[in-house]
Chain A
C-alpha cells in the first residue's frame, strides 16, 4: 500500500511537470500577450487564493470572508517594497516621493507580503475567532472593508499613496521575461504544495476534525482556538502572497480593486470546486477565469446577426449569467466538482494512506 502511495505521488508530480512544460510551450508558441497566457496567469493566481480560502472555509470549517482584505495587505506590502527608487518620486507625486526609501528583491517582497497578511490575521484572529458561524463571516467582512478604507486614508498616504495608483513595480511579465507562465506557476505551485503538505499532516487532520465536529474535536484534546488561529494565519499568509501576485498580474494597484465582490468571487470558485478539495479549487479557478475573461465575453457584447440584434447580449449580461450559475450551483451542486475529494484520489476507494489493515 505504501508503494502504491509513492507511485501515485510520483505520477502526480510527473503530471504537474508535464503541465508546466505545456505552459512554457504555450507561451513560447502563442506569445506572452495571447488570451490563453492571460487566462492561465490569472487562473493560477486565483487558484492559490482559492486554495488558501478553502484551507479555512473548506478544511477547517470557518466561514470567513476576509480574503480580499488579506490580499490587499499582501498586494500593498509587495508594491510598496518593490517600486524602484528612481520611480518613487513619480508614483508618490502627491506625497513627496513617499516615506519608504528602499526596495527589496521580488521574492523577499512576496514573502513579506505573506508575513504582513499573516500578522494582521494573528491580530484580528484573537477577537474574531471566538465568534461562531455567521458572526465570524460578518466580522471578517467588516475587517476587509475597514482595511480597504484605511489604506486610502490621506494621513498614511506617504506609505500607501492614499487613493492613488501604485505602479511600476515588477510584474509577472517582467519577473522572468519571456517566461511569465513558468514564474507564475512556480510560485503558485510551491505555495499550494506547502498547503497540501500541511493539510496532509497531523495538523491538517486536526483542522478537519474541527470542521466535522467542534465538540468532539475539543474532547479529543484539540485546542480549538489555537488550531483555528493557525488555519487563519496560514490561510491569510497565502492570501497575502496571492494578493501580491494579483498586483503583479494587473501591473498597477488600487485599493478599490479589493472589494468584497472579490471575496464572493473566490468563495464561488471554492464552492464550485468543492469545499475541502484542493484540486477542485484549482480546476474551478481556471474554469472560472476562462469563462469570465474569455469564453463568456460575448455575453457582454452587443451582437448583430445580419440585421437582427441578438436579445439580452449587452454590457452587464455576463454578471447576470454568472449570478444564475451561482444559484444553480448552490441549489443543485452543493458538493461542487470534486466534493471533498482530490483529483489524485479518484479511482481509489476512500482510504487512509498506509494505515489500518494494510500494515
Chain B
C-alpha cells in the first residue's frame, strides 16, 4: 500500500489488469498510468479490449485480476475466485490472492471523480440537450427528496440550471439547448455527452472514441476543444481514439493494445516509429 503513496502525480493506475469473460481473455495483464494533467491515449485495432478497459475502471465490469488505483486509492481489486480460479487463462493469478477484493458501482466511481462518455452514444433520449446536462448536476446536490420537492432548494436548483447552461455554452450548444438530444447531428451529440460528463465535476475524464463519426474538420476542432476543457477544468484525460491525427496531435503519451495485451507505450513520436505498432496496424493505417 505505502508504495502507492509515492506516485503523487498518478491519477489513474492499472496494475496487472486481466478481464476474462468465460474463456475469452479480453484484457491480458494490462498495467498503465495516467498522470495529473496529461492527455493519454489508448489505441489498438478493433476488439483489442479498449472499451473493456474503460469498463473495468468505471465499475461496469469487475476485473478478473489486478488492481485499479485512482489518486492512490484502490477502486477495484480482484483475483480469480470460484469457478474463475480454475478457468483463469491470464498470468499473475496469484499475485493478488491475499488482497481483499474491492468493488465500487459505476455511480460511486463517478462520485469519486471519474466521468466518461460512451462509444455508442448514450444520451437520455426523451430529454432535451439542456436536460441531459442538467441530470449530470444531480450527483453533487445537497437537497433531499423533501427539500427538492418543496423547492426549498431553489437556490441550488438555480445554480444547477446556470451550470448546465454554462456547460452547453462551452461546448457550443447553447443554440440547441431546447432540442431533443437525439435529434442533434452526431458530432454535436458527442460534444453534448462531454458536457454531461463535465457536469458531474470529474477530475479524470474518460473519452471512448470522441471523434467517431466526425469529419476531418470536426475532428480538428474536437482536438482543440479537448485541450481547452482540460486546461479550463484542470482535468486529466484518458481517451480511446482511432483517428491517428487527433491522437498524435494532442496526446502526451500513448498506450497500444492488441488482442488484450499492451504492445507499446510512449510519446507520439516513439509510437509512430514502433515496429510492433506498425505491424499491428498494418492495413489499418490512416496516414
Least CB distance, B259 to chain A, in whole angstroms: 26
The stretch among A11-19, A115-123, A349-357 that forms the contact with chain B is A349-357
Q: Which residues of A contact B136 (CB under 8 A)?
A: 220-221
User: Is A154 in contact with chain B by the CB < 8 A criterion?
Assistant: no
Q: Which residues of B contact A218 (CB under 8 A)?
A: 105-107, 110
Which 10 pairs, one residue from A and one from B, show the smallest C-beta to C-beta distance? Answer: A356-B177, A221-B139, A221-B110, A216-B122, A201-B148, A352-B130, A212-B124, A356-B130, A218-B106, A351-B178
Interface residue range, chain A: 35 or more
A220 with B162, Cβ < 8 A, contacts A208-B126, A276-B126 known: no
CB-nearest residue of chain A to B121: A216
> Could you mark each residue 334-353 of chain A with 1 if its beta carbon is under 8 Å from any beta carbon of chain B, else 0?
00000010000000011110
User: Is B149 in contact with chain A by the CB < 8 A criterion?
Assistant: yes
Q: Which residues of A contact B150 (CB under 8 A)?
A: 197
Interface residues of A in 200-243 (CB under 8 A from B): 201-203, 205-206, 208-209, 211-213, 215-224, 230, 234
Instruction: Give the distance in Å from the alpha carbon of A180 to the alpha carbon of B105 in the complex.
Output: 50
Q: Which residues of A contact B157 (CB under 8 A)?
A: 201-202
Q: Are B123 and A224 in contact (CB under 8 A)?
A: no
Instruction: Give the distance in Å from the alpha carbon of A283 to the alpha carbon of B106 in the complex.
Output: 39
User: Is A359 in contact with chain B by the CB < 8 A criterion?
Assistant: yes
Interface residues of B in 154-199 (CB under 8 A from A): 157, 160-162, 164-165, 168, 174-175, 177-178, 180, 196-197, 199
Q: Are B145 and A219 in contact (CB under 8 A)?
A: no
Interface size on B, residues (CB 8 A): 50
A208 with B127, Cβ < 8 A, contacts A202-B141, A202-B143 known: yes
Instruction: Give the distance in Å from the alpha carbon of A350 to the alpha carbon of B130 in the complex.
Output: 11
Pairs A–B under 8 Å by Cβ, sample size 27: A197-B150, A201-B149, A202-B143, A205-B131, A206-B135, A209-B127, A213-B125, A215-B106, A216-B118, A217-B124, A218-B105, A218-B106, A218-B107, A219-B107, A219-B110, A220-B138, A220-B196, A221-B138, A224-B107, A340-B126, A349-B178, A351-B128, A352-B130, A355-B161, A356-B177, A357-B174, A357-B177
